[in-house]
Structures are given as C-alpha cells and as structure tokens.
Amino acid sequence: MTSDPLAARLGIPSGPLFFPVTAYGPDGGLDLDVYRAHVRAGVEAGGAAVFAVCGTGEFHAVTPEEFRACVAAAVEAADGRVPVIAGAGYGTALAVRYARLAEEAGADGLLALPPYLVKAEQQGLVAHYGALAEATSLDVIVYQRDNAVFTPEAVVQLAAHPKIVGFKDGFGDLDLMQRIVSAVRGAGHEDFLYFNGLPTAELTGLAYRGIGVSLYSSAVFCFAPDIALAFHRALGSGDDKTAARLIDAFYRPFVELRNQGRGFAVALVKAGVRLRGYEVGTVRPPLHEPSEQQIEELAALVARGREVLAEGAGA
C-alpha cells in the first residue's frame, strides 16, 4: 500500500497499463469472481495500473450498480499493489455520478471519457472536465478522442487544474500532440502525464516515444501478457530491433484482424481472454463477437508472437 499521489505512481512506466475486460456469466450478469481473477492475474503479470470499466471494460454497457461493483472488485484484486483508475463518462451530471461511485468503491483516480454524443466548443469541454475534477477527491486523466479533441491552449487550461494530472490521446494526430506537449511544458506544467491511448497502442509506440510519450494502454496485455511485456521492455530500453520484430510478426497483423469488425478493439480482446482460459463471457450488444475463424486467426497470431519471443531468447 502507498499514499503516493496518483501521478507519481503512474509516472514511471514499470509495465503496460492494464485495461481488463468486464466478465459476464452465462446469464449475462456480472461474474465478479472471474473478474477478480482476471484483474489479479494482470497485476501479478506486471501491469503497472488497472484501468477498470473503461473502453476495453465496456463502460458503455454496464449499469451504475454494475460499475461500482466492478470497480470495488478491481480494488480488492489489486490489493494496493498498483493504482486502480475507473472510467467516468456521459454528460457532466452522469460523469459526476460515476466519479462518486468510483470514489466510494475505493478507486485511486478517474479516466474521464468523452461527453455523450454532443460536440462542444473548447470552453465547454474545459468546464465539463473541471466540474468532474471538482466532484471528488480523485485525480483525473482526460481522454482525448471522438468528440473530445482539444487545442493546445485548452490542454494548458486542463493541466493548470490541480486534480487533472494527465492526458490520454486516442485521436492519433502526432502534430497536434507535439504542440500540446510543447504548450503544456512551456506553461510550466513539467509533471503533467501523457498516454498513448490509441487502440493497440504498441503499433504507434515508437512514434509516440519520439515526442516523449512513453506511457500507453495495452489491451494485448489482457490476453498475451508475455508478448505485451516483451514489447514494453523493448520500447523502454531502446531495443527497436525487438520492437520491430514484434510489430511485424504480431502487432501489425493483429491490428489488421482487429480492423475487420467494428468494436473488435473490445470483442477480439475479450475473445483472447477466453482463449487464455478465463470465462469472461461475450460482449454485450450493440457490440458483436468475432467469428470462429477470426478467433482461430487470433490464436495463431499469439502463437506466432510467442515464437518470435522464443527465437529472440535463443539468439
């Protein structure tokens, strides 16, 4: 257990950031026993933090009661070894409600997902995330994607808030991200954290590292932690040869498979967790499951990734 601030606990990338899937039983309801086992396995495998009920965890698909139960289960499974960050989203009123539920459940911080549906001006977005940050004692990471894309000036305003500690980019414009990093640094917020939050972030890890963004979310860590950890070590140590081999043999073809279906950034990952032996159930509608052939292709890709690891170990 530690009382260190969230930013300090996240700032040193000791391992991939773990985004567990949410487990459902045969009746479609939560299976918290399987969920705890899944979270516990990820922490023990080397995940640096648990991001509970976020995008990969189907935040959009759970009720507030299920959300609180999952966050509490993640906190129990992590047992203080790594921080637990919970998703919070929708409009301001609901986002605040989810934030308070996360705080009650023992979370260490919040990942602020985009507001529901509407496209707002920058001042509205800044006000929304400011209100969310003021609602609880928890520190906040703002997630840029979809209808929440920021100017550098707006991110400077966010970074000035004492409880907004980081910025996760799921938009993928490196020019914009470089300008954001530069503007925030120029405003004196040297400790502000940045995360690569693109789906399968490893594919763009080398590019983001080039602008100083070393933290990233890893959905692959859910179902192939050995591959994800090997890539994380290679990226962090400058072993670009190993990183490139894993990109060529595993990550690029995985992304091509993922791109075969909308929502496969969640559904294919959940299928991978089932392949690993955790009966986490299927995704809830409106997402849909990959085909048996696609799941077989995923299993073959994981096997190929492990062959590359073995080849490297024997070199």
pLDDT at 266 (0 to 100): 97
Low-confidence ranges of the chain (pLDDT < 50): 1-2
Residue pLDDT, tens place only, 213-243: 999 999 999 999 999 999 999 999 999 999 9
pLDDT at 313 (0 to 100): 72
pLDDT at 4 (0 to 100): 67
Cα–Cα distance, 21 to 17 (Å, whole number): 13
Q: Which domain holds residue 150?
A: 6-236
Cα–Cα distance, 284 to 63 (Å, whole number): 12
In a domain, 28, yes or no: yes
Task: Specify whether 278 is catalytic.
Answer: no
Residue pLDDT, tens place only, 89-103: 999 999 999 999 999
Q: What is the CATH number of the domain that holds 21?
A: 3.20.20.70
In a domain, 226, yes or no: yes
In a domain, 39, yes or no: yes
Report the percentage of the chain scoring pLDDT > 70: 98
pTM greater than 0.75 (yes/no): yes
In a domain, 176, yes or no: yes
Cα–Cα distance, 96 to 93 (Å, whole number): 5
In a domain, 265, yes or no: no
In a domain, 97, yes or no: yes
In a domain, 253, yes or no: no
Find the catalytic residue in 129, 168, 194, 208: 168
Cα–Cα distance, 101 to 211 (Å, whole number): 35
pLDDT at 315 (0 to 100): 59
Domains held by the chain: number: 1
H helix intervals, 46-165? 64-78, 92-104, 122-135, 152-159
The one-letter amino acid code at 267 reads: A
Q: How far apart are the first and last CA of the chain?
A: 39
The whole-chain average pLDDT of the chain stands at 96
Find the catalytic residue in 143, 216, 251, 278: 143
Nearest to 227 by CA among 303, 278, 314: 303
Look-up: residue for tokens 């809830």?
284
In a domain, 75, yes or no: yes
Task: Specify whether 119 is catalytic.
Answer: no
